[in-house]
Structures are given as structure tokens and as C-alpha cells.
Amino acid sequence: MANYFNERDKNITRRLREIRDELPEFSEEFFVGIEPQTTALTRLNYAYDLRIFFDFLLHNVRAFKNYDSALDFTVDDLNKITLVNLESYLEYLSYYTFDNKEYTNSDKGKARKISTVRTFFKYYFNHDRIPSNIAAKLVMPKQHDKDIIRLESREVERLLDVAESGDGMTEHQRKIQRNTRVRDVAILTLLLGTGIRVSECVGLNLSDVDFETNAFTVTRKGGNRAILYFGDEVATALLNYIETERKALIERSQKMTTIEKDALFLSLQIRRISVRAVENLVKKYAAPAAPLKKISPHKLRSTFGTNLYKATGDIYVVADVLGHRDVNTTKKHYAAIEEDHRKIAAQVVKLRGNE
């Protein structure tokens, strides 16, 4: 499993270096300074966001109208940026073009990009590279809580039934489904039965799974390893896939490396399945199973978390199994269930007529 994540991080690092070459030279200080506290993926997202920010300054702020590219900016130019400029950037993020492509952002997307700018300014202010931090005065977009979408028990059953039967899908989808049915059921059962992230799912190796103890090892966010457990339904689905479709794919291949052969879930091209492929198969089977809901692998994770919380009533157990570092993250997602518990509690205690 570590091999998958090591390769993923290498690819992210290569892309990060490419984007950093498009940013002002002084920004290197920022990326070097934050490296110990951030993941490669976080730094890549910062780089993407800063590329948009400097492109905005280059084309929309008069103080920089004579600059040819983002490479012309120096750290002293941060002092020329006003609060009005930053507020204009916030408005700009609603709709803009970059590299001849059009983009839009929801409040959540705006908040992330503004957070990057604030972190950027804060770094240089804290390191005495600029005299003031104007970005700290910028008001973040208001975040609206979204309803947590999860599957009901009947919808879970229908989802697995669709994956097994192909009912409700197009003829083209059914043609593919006939060759991946056992694998797809195993993936859906694993996601619904353990609540692991999609990246953790595709990163699994056969050597990570122990059917003697019904346990497996995953690499969490940040690279930490954790041992999780699965029930008999998950074990049956995984073993069925390993002994049938996966075995047939391995026997068919002549050129697989040892690392590829250890990948638990394989594509029809006999490579480790990708995150995008898992996202697509969940969407494909969920469409006829829960037509009114937009279901993704993360929604299956929420479904597991909901069921686990209902069964245990212990938010700390849910946080631990889901790999949340902060239990408040878990509470935010399952606050609605806590409210249900409080409503039930209000009806349990009777003040009169108990006898």
C-alpha cells in the first residue's frame, strides 16, 4: 500500500514543482517554510490558488499593469496590495477565465482560495518580510451548512442489487458490468462496511488484508498507518472477488510488476484501479438505486458513519474508525443524529403518570 501512496506523492511533488516555476521567486520561501506542517497535496492546492491570485493581480490591478508575468513580482509588491484589491479578488472568483477556460466558484471554493491568500500574507508578516498583514482584514465568505446526504438501508440494498444485476443501466453499462460485477460489489461493500476513504480503498494491496482476523491496514491522511476491521459480509465479497475476477485478470497478464500484482482492486486494463474509476462506478450504480440523491464514495463513508453512530451512540468511536483527527469534525457531520437523540431523550422522561 505504501508503494501506491509513495508514487502518488511523487507525482504530486513533480506537479508542484511545475506550478512553482510559474510563481514569483520569493514564493519559494513560503513553500519551504510550510513544508514541515503540510502535505504535498496541500502545498499543490496552495500553488494552484496562488497562480490564480497572481494572474488576477497581473490583469486587474493597476499597480501591476506594466508587469509581464507573475515572475516580475517581488515580496515588496505585497505592500502595494490593498484591501479593496482583495475584496475585488473575492468578487472575481465568482466567475473568471484562466488559460482560456472559464471557472466559477461556490462560497466554499472562494473560501478555500481566500484562505490560501491569507495564509500566504500571514507567513510573510510573521517572518518580518512585510510590515502589515492586510489580508487578515478580508472577511471570509459565509459558509452555509449543507445537509449531510447518506443512504437509507433500503437504498443500500438497492445499490448492491444494482451492482450485482445491472438493472436500470444502459446496455453499454451492462456490458461492462458483466465483466466487473464481482469487483464492483466488493468495492461498494468495503466502502459501506468500513467507511474508508476512496484513496484508502484504491491504495489497498492484497498483502494489507488478513482474512484470519478480518483486518486490513490503510494509510490515512498524512501518511499514518492504521489497522481496521471488517465484518463477514465484507470478507465474503472480497474473497469472492479475489478468487474469481481478480485471479482471472492476474492469470491473463504477462507483464505485471510485483507491485502491480499486489494491488487489491484492478481495472480491466489490469492496473491498479484509479480514484476516478471508483467515483464513476459509485455514481453509475447509485443513479438507479437512489435517483434523488447525488451519491459519491464520500456519501458511502457518511452512510457508514451514520450507521456506526446509531449503533454505538459513541462519537469518539466514530471519529477513531473514520480517522478524524478532531472529534469536532465528526460532530459537525453527525449533529443531526445527536439532535434526534436529544428529541428522544426529551420524550423518555415523564413527569406525571409514570405509574
Asked if 90 contacts 110 with a C-beta cutoff of 8 angstroms, the reply is yes
Q: What is the pLDDT of residue 138?
A: 93
Asked if 279 contacts 297 with a C-beta cutoff of 8 angstroms, the reply is yes
Q: Is this prediction's pTM over 0.85?
A: no
Q: What dotted CATH number matches 2-137?
A: 1.10.150.130
- Measured from the Cβ of residue 217, the count of other Cβ atoms closer than 10 Å reads 17
Q: What is the pLDDT of residue 190?
A: 97
Q: What is the DSSP letter of 80?
A: G
The domain segmentation of the chain, as residue ranges, is: 2-137, 153-310
Alpha carbon separation from 94 to 23, 25, 89, 135, 332 (Å, rounded): 23, 28, 9, 19, 27
Nearest to 268 by CA among 282, 287, 252, 285: 252
Residue 103 CA, chain-centre distance (Å), reads 20
Q: What is the pLDDT of residue 314?
A: 85
Q: For strands 209-210 and 215-219, give the pairing.
A: antiparallel
Asked if 304 contacts 207 with a C-beta cutoff of 8 angstroms, the reply is no
CA 293, CA 38: separation in Å to the nearest integer?
A: 34
CA 309, CA 264: separation in Å to the nearest integer?
A: 29
Q: What is the pLDDT of residue 233?
A: 96
CA 59, CA 55: separation in Å to the nearest integer?
A: 6
Q: What is the pLDDT of residue 22?
A: 96
Q: For strands 95-98 and 101-104, give the pairing.
A: antiparallel
E-strand ranges in 134-257 read: 209-210, 215-219, 225-229
- Measured from the Cβ of residue 301, the count of other Cβ atoms closer than 10 Å reads 23
Q: What is the pLDDT of residue 1?
A: 47
Q: Would you give per-residue pLDDT tens digits along the chain (355 residues)?
A: 457 888 888 999 999 999 999 999 999 999 999 999 998 999 999 999 999 999 999 999 999 999 999 999 999 999 999 999 999 999 999 999 999 999 999 988 999 999 999 999 999 999 999 999 999 999 888 766 666 788 999 999 999 999 999 998 889 999 999 999 999 999 999 999 999 999 999 999 999 999 999 999 998 877 788 999 999 999 999 999 999 999 999 988 877 666 678 899 999 999 999 999 999 999 999 999 999 999 999 999 999 998 888 888 888 888 888 888 888 777 766 655 555 555 555 555 556 655 5
Cell numbers of 34, please?
Answer: 510550510
Q: What dotted CATH number matches 153-310?
A: 1.10.443.10
